[in-house]
């Protein structure tokens, strides 16, 4: 049985299943942030309709929260960046993911691990509440506090709890 996490946001609730067998390092890292209450009060700070929504690292004031050390990128686990999957956000460095994650709004095969590109590690999927994800994807965006594609209204993660 895979672990599940329930998110309450300012735009509704959704639940995710985490793929512990395929992405053990990523899931352990994510669940530690959940158990620490780290995501409570963070925001979805990047919303690109037809692509993804990203959150899990900034406050409502767009201040970056302190994170633990980066983890190993498990993008080579065979999972694909398809609609509704969760993946770890990272910098251009392969092993740089910490707390930020994104939900794919469509199949984004160009983010998958290949011989030409290491890719982004899929570690879960939305099992309930994809309508909430789609609702978040429709908020108006612009530039806020140095961030492009930022919701012009705050899209808060009120809580994230393991079920």
Angstrom distance (rounded) from CA 21 to CA 122: 12
Asked whether the beta carbons of 33 and 151 are under 8 A apart, the reply is no
Q: Each residue of 4-32: pLDDT tens digit?
A: 999 999 999 999 999 999 999 999 999 99
The token duo for 113 is 């691990």
Q: Each residue of 132-161: pLDDT tens digit?
A: 999 999 999 999 999 999 999 999 999 999
Task: Supply the CATH classification number for the domain 4-162.
Answer: 2.40.100.10
Listed by start position, the domains of the chain span 4-162
Q: Each residue of 54-95: pLDDT tens digit?
A: 999 999 999 999 999 999 999 999 999 999 999 999 999 999
């Amino acid at each position: 049985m895979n672990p599940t996490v329930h998110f309450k946001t300012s735009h509704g609730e959704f639940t995710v299943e985490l793929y512990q067998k395929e992405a053990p390092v990523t899931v352990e890292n994510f669940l530690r942030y959940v158990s620490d209450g780290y995501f409570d009060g963070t925001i979805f700070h990047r919303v690109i309709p037809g692509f993804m929504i990203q959150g899990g690292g900034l406050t409502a004031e767009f201040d970056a929260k302190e994170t633990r050390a980066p983890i190993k990128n498990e993008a080579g686990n065979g999972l694909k960046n398809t609609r509704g999957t969760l993946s770890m956000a990272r910098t251009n460095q392969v092993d740089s993911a910490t707390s930020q994650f994104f939900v794919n709004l469509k199949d984004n095969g160009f983010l998958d691990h290949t011989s030409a590109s290491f890719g982004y590690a899929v570690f879960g999927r939305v099992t309930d509440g994809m309508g909430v994800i789609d609702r978040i994807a429709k908020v108006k965006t612009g530039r806020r506090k140095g961030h492009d594609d930022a919701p012009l209204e705050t899209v808060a993660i009120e809580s994230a709890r393991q079920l």
